[in-house]
Structure 1
Amino acid sequence: MTSQPQQQLPPDDAPAGCPSSFREVPAALSVGIEEEFLLVDPVSRTLRPEGPQVADSAADELGHRVGTELTRYQVEGRTEPHTCLNEAVAELRTVRAGLARAAAERGLRIASSGSPITGPVAPVPLTPGPRYAESMSLFRALDDEQSACACHVHIGVADPREAIEVSNHLRPWLATLTALAANSPYWEGRDTGYASWRTIAWGRWPVAGPPPYFDSPAHFEDLVDELILTRTVLDRGGLYWDVRPSHHLPTVEVRVADAALTPEDTVLLAAVVRALVATALEAIRAGEPAPRPGPEILRAASWRAARDGLAGQALDPITRRLVPAAAQVERMLRALSPALRHSGDLDLVRSQWRRLRTQGSGADRQRAAYRHRSSLHDVVDHVIGATCSSGRAADGFRAGSARAEIRRPG
């Protein structure tokens, strides 16, 4: 199904009930970004288990901004904290380029997709280390699906109580972020019918998906202690909720998104997440309670967003009604316009949202690459090219191609 006519992000004026100015929140909260990448053989287009070697090589140039992941099919890139998103996207490109060079030294490429496009990938080769070995012992075949890649956005929130309350306020918007960032339609050589299959794979973990509503920091701490005591998670790093207070940084960490196809997709996500956190902080400091949709509704909204992405319907957790997914994104952006204006990100988000409405999500662009010749190799090649693109190369699935239409699979 083709997309609806392109719409613009609404005017600057905020909807009723939104703060028109931000008196209690800094002009620009800090943003740090973590991105996970797959390592691909450019000839066979299959994954290669050389993550530790590529990370070691890239560290000569990038230092602590690179690391390994659970599986040897993956590497991770990280930015420093930034208050200016132009600086953040510049560093994203630097880190991606450094990882790409290190991979190329071994005859490989990095690919920013939320899931492996070709297969098979299971059982996964685990990165050596006691924690990963313990994970396999505890979680068993669940680890076989963890060649999926995510994008994590950290926003600076130093107060632990506020970090918990921000999590409560973000819960109704997590599914909308899933749809906005969807970039994993394929898994092991087949179209799953989902825009974000990574969301479905991660949802099988015992502590994953939308987090509970926490009544207080003590409620959070008590629950985490119980989960660790009962061996439901290894430690605080194993809390795989879509949003959580970071266990090692003074930040709120939003973990809901697939690895983004391009740096521009990542910076759009980061700008929106920062505005969500700023809006939540303003509401918290004004004494406004967080909406409290039930866990069943949030789970249903997450499933719908993972299935349809931007191409279908979204379940609004507040109204409990289906609405066009793009309209739900625009509703979110209207609510965030004061925060986006406050941080100086409004024009950036407007332009990137217009681009996404034209091109489609990462999942839509992957499928457009496939439709050209019905070839998964074309999808892999497109993802490799877009991962380190300057922006222009990502405008279509192939230079000179028609734009990618937003449509449902099938």
Structure 2
Amino acid sequence: MDGQEKRENHVWNGDAPTLGVEEEYFLVHPGTRGLEPAGARVVARAAATAGEAVTGEFTQYQVEGRTVPCQGTEELREELRRVRAAAVTATRAEGLGLCASGTPVLGASRREDIGDHPRYRAGSDQYRAMLDDFAVSAFHVHVHLPERELAVLVGNHLRPWLPLLVALSANSPFHEGLDTGYASWRAVIRGRFPCLGPPPYAESLDHHERLATAMAESEAMLEPGMPFWDVRPNPRLPTLEVRSMDVLADIDDTVALTVLIRALVVTAADRVVRGDPGPRVGAELLRAAYWRAARDGWPGSGVDALSGRVLPAPEQAERLVRHVRPVLEAYGDMGEVSAFLRRLAARGTGAERQRAWARDGAGPAGVVDALVRATDCVSVP
């Protein structure tokens, strides 16, 4: 069998599945550099030019940008710029700055500033003081995958790689003015909730739904139809959604991680249709891997959940790229991912950049200013 015949036996032979991105941003005051509860005002301003591309988030200190489905890397990059530009412009009009960081660098959040949505209010009633400082910003990747049974089994294959995605995207070393000593403090905050983090291993879609129902009945989860696990078939869209990553200030990094995740999803789907339901990685080991990734990030070492060994994050990244390389090459995305890894080797993740900005002498306030500049994709006259 020649190479062409082999390729025809793979699910990724053909057009790349579409993908989309959601980014969450903080709204910060230019004087105090603290959080500003202006989400509703910013969304209203953005609606005139961006429609529903800029929406509200869990707190009034945040807004979210949503792309339309895209296929190629350049299309995705331009769409991210369009959406982020709309959010930046509306935020500026309110006299504020838009900040892409996984946690607030300065300024405490308050539970009374939770967004005006029934689900958010229900969450406040259910989780109580656990939400007092729950202001975290993520980026989510959607990959078109309309078959929900397939999507659940693909999630089994993604579970061992989620800690590495935490390390690659780490962008929250500071929280309320303090260096936490972690690369992703957002991952630590999320880890205290029973409904967040990696999904349980699922034998089938029915098993997945029964687990979600049991979680909701225990009140550990709000709604069984809308689980907040880090991989899930989206409740409303024909996509598999990956949710473990901190929001990134650099759009090129966002694009690269998005296409890397798409390659991981497609590689997993290929294995599922060939009869492989995914590795049974234990929840305890996966929890340890999440914690180590959140603490040490890049270029630190972390737990490889597939082997149980502690390996440097760059070595784990090389293993991931080898694992998905045929798909990256088939879709023309290998160069994008290689450039991302070179950037990581040269200047680290967002966590290293934030600490470098703090060391420049301006402290946390200077970190906020640098993040606002890095998030801004609108040319200033």
Residue 221 of structure 1 deviates from its aligned partner by 1.3
Residue 193 of structure 1 deviates from its aligned partner by 0.5
Q: Which amino acid aligns with 2:10?
A: R
Aligned match of 1:276 = 264
Residue 129 of structure 1 deviates from its aligned partner by 3.1
Aligned match of 2:330 = 342
Select which of 48, 63, 66 maps to 2:36: 48
Is residue 49 of structure 2 the alignment partner of residue 69 of structure 1? no
Aligned match of 2:144 = 156
Residue 178 of structure 1 deviates from its aligned partner by 0.6
Residue 59 of structure 1 deviates from its aligned partner by 1.1
Q: Which amino acid aligns with 1:116?
A: P
Is residue 304 of structure 2 the alignment partner of residue 304 of structure 1? no
2:152–2:232 Cα contact (<8 Å) kept: yes
Select which of 337, 358, 363 maps to 1:375: 363
**Secondary structure, counterpart of 1:67 in structure 2:** strand
Change (3 A) 1:124 1:340: farther
Give the Cα–Cα distance (whole angstroms) in 2 for the partners of residues 240 and 204 of structure 1: 13
Q: Which amino acid aligns with 2:306?
A: I
Aligned match of 1:253 = 241
Aligned match of 1:24 = 11
Q: Which amino acid aligns with 2:135?
A: S
Select which of 261, 267, 275 maps to 1:287: 275
**Secondary structure, counterpart of 2:113 in structure 1:** coil
Residue 227 of structure 1 deviates from its aligned partner by 2.2
Aligned match of 1:313 = 301
Q: Which amino acid aligns with 1:44?
A: T
Query: Any idea what the Cα deviations from partners look like across 1:107-160, whole Å, max 9, x if unmatched?
Result: 001000000001222345112233222221111122223211000001010111
**Secondary structure, counterpart of 1:257 in structure 2:** strand
**Secondary structure, counterpart of 2:51 in structure 1:** helix
Give the Cα–Cα distance (whole angstroms) in 1 for the partners of residues 246 and 132 of structure 2: 18
Unmatched tracts of structure 1, length 5 or more: 1-18, 392-410
2:33–2:107 Cα contact (<8 Å) kept: no
Give the Cα–Cα distance (whole angstroms) in 2 for the partners of residues 179 and 237 of structure 1: 29
Q: Normalising by the residue count of structure 2, what TM-score does the alignment of the two structures yield?
A: 0.94
Change (3 A) 1:98 1:296: same
Percent of paired sites with the same residue = 43
Is residue 116 of structure 2 the alignment partner of residue 128 of structure 1? yes
Give the Cα–Cα distance (whole angstroms) in 2 for the partners of residues 89 and 314 of structure 1: 30
Query: Any idea what the Cα deviations from partners look like across 1:361-390, whole Å, max 9, x if unmatched?
Result: 011101110011051111001100111248
Select which of 4, 14, 24 maps to 1:36: 24
Aligned match of 2:128 = 140
Q: Normalising by the residue count of structure 1, what TM-score does the alignment of the two structures yield?
A: 0.88
Q: Which amino acid aligns with 1:69?
A: E
- Name segments (4+ residues, structure 1) moved above 4 Å: 19-22
Residue 22 of structure 1 deviates from its aligned partner by 6.3
**Secondary structure, counterpart of 1:260 in structure 2:** coil
Matches within 5 A, 1:80-159: 80-123=68-111, 125-159=113-147
Change (3 A) 1:237 1:114: farther
- Is 374-383 or 165-174 further displaced after alignment? 374-383
- Tell me the matched-pair count: 373
Query: Any idea what the Cα deviations from partners look like across 1:188-235, whole Å, max 9, x if unmatched?
Result: 010000000000101111111111100111101111222223332221
Give the Cα–Cα distance (whole angstroms) in 2 for the partners of residues 334 and 277 of structure 1: 14
Residue 89 of structure 1 deviates from its aligned partner by 1.1
2:203–2:277 Cα contact (<8 Å) kept: no
Aligned match of 2:318 = 330
Residue 23 of structure 1 deviates from its aligned partner by 2.6
Give the Cα–Cα distance (whole angstroms) in 2 for the partners of residues 41 and 374 of structure 1: 17
**Secondary structure, counterpart of 2:34 in structure 1:** coil
1:115–1:198 Cα contact (<8 Å) kept: yes
1:27–1:342 Cα contact (<8 Å) kept: no
Aligned match of 1:166 = 154
Give the Cα–Cα distance (whole angstroms) in 2 for the partners of residues 228 and 259 of structure 1: 28
1:31–1:81 Cα contact (<8 Å) kept: yes
Residue 73 of structure 1 deviates from its aligned partner by 0.2
Residue 331 of structure 1 deviates from its aligned partner by 1.1
Kindly indicate which of the two structures has a greater share of residues assigned to helix: 2
Give the Cα–Cα distance (whole angstroms) in 2 for the partners of residues 321 and 221 of structure 1: 32
**Secondary structure, counterpart of 2:27 in structure 1:** strand
Give the Cα–Cα distance (whole angstroms) in 2 for the partners of residues 373 and 82 of structure 1: 41
Aligned match of 1:403 = none
1:21–1:338 Cα contact (<8 Å) kept: no
1:298–1:317 Cα contact (<8 Å) kept: yes
Residue 20 of structure 1 deviates from its aligned partner by 6.8
Q: Which amino acid aligns with 2:241?
A: E
Select which of 353, 370, 373 maps to 1:365: 353
2:212–2:225 Cα contact (<8 Å) kept: no
Is residue 197 of structure 2 the alignment partner of residue 212 of structure 1? no
